[in-house]
Structure 1
Amino acid sequence: MIVEVVTGADERPQARVVDVDDLSKLFLALGEVTDEEAAEVLERSGLGRLTDGGTAVLDLAAVRAAAEPRATAPDWQSRWDELVTHARTQGRLSEDGAGLQVPVQSAAGA
């Protein structure tokens, strides 16, 4: 699954969740936007926040709410739970368990 920040049709950056059935990975992909634009759009959308140029913290509840209604895999919920459990074992969850630290990549490489 990918949370991406890209320039929308009206040339304003927008955040969206794509590849919702691929729960083997979760990362933030940035298109042709500045870090400042990406940070603003992520926070405004409620999907997360940038911590630096290479890392972001995504809000698990918001990402799930955006992805789950569009998921088509019958085992999506159990695979989501596995993704969160795996992140917890790797120490990538925030202290309160609500955020997940993910890498930031160029959308061109997504």
Structure 2
Amino acid sequence: MIVEVVTGADERPEARVVDVDDLGRLHLALGVVTDEEAAEALERSGLGRLQDEDTAFLDVAALRAAAEPRAGGPGWSAEWDRMITAARGKGWLSEDGASLQVHVESAAGA
């Protein structure tokens, strides 16, 4: 799963969740946007916040709410739970389970 921040309608950056059925990976991909634009788009969408150029924190409930309606199979919920459990085991999930630390990558050309 990927959360992208790319230039949207009217050249205004927007955050969107793509590849919702690929729960074996999760990261934030930034298109041709500044860090400030990315931070604003993430916060405006409710999906999370940008910590720095390498790290973001995604809201677990908002991410699931954005992805689940577009998921392709009946086993998606179980795969989601496995992804969250794995993230907790790696120290990427906040203590309260509300946010997930992810790596930021370039999506230039997206």
TM over 0.5: yes
Aligned length: 110
Q: Report the Cα offset of residue 75 of structure 1.
A: 0.6
SS at 2:10 equivalent: coil
Tell me the TM-score normalized by structure 2: 0.96
**Within the alignment, does 1:37 sit opposite 2:37 as a pair?**
yes
Q: Deviations over 1:59-93 (max 9, x none)?
A: 01000000000001221000000000000000111
**Match in the other structure for 1:98:** 98
Q: Distance in 2 between matches of 1:86 and 1:38?
A: 26
Q: Distance in 1 between matches of 2:80 and 2:74?
A: 12
For residue 46 of structure 1, what is the amino acid of its counterpart? G
Unaligned runs of 5+ in 2: none
Q: Distance in 2 between matches of 1:89 and 1:2?
A: 20
Q: Distance in 1 between matches of 2:28 and 2:87?
A: 15
Unaligned runs of 5+ in 1: none
Check conservation: 2:5, 2:38, Cα contact below 8 A: yes
**Within the alignment, does 1:89 sit opposite 2:89 as a pair?**
yes
1:4-83 superposed matches below 5 A: 4-83=4-83
Q: Distance in 2 between matches of 1:47 and 1:70?
A: 16
RMSD of aligned alpha carbons: 1.3
Tell me the TM-score normalized by structure 1: 0.96
Q: Distance in 2 between matches of 1:70 and 1:47?
A: 16
Q: Distance in 1 between matches of 2:87 and 2:31?
A: 25
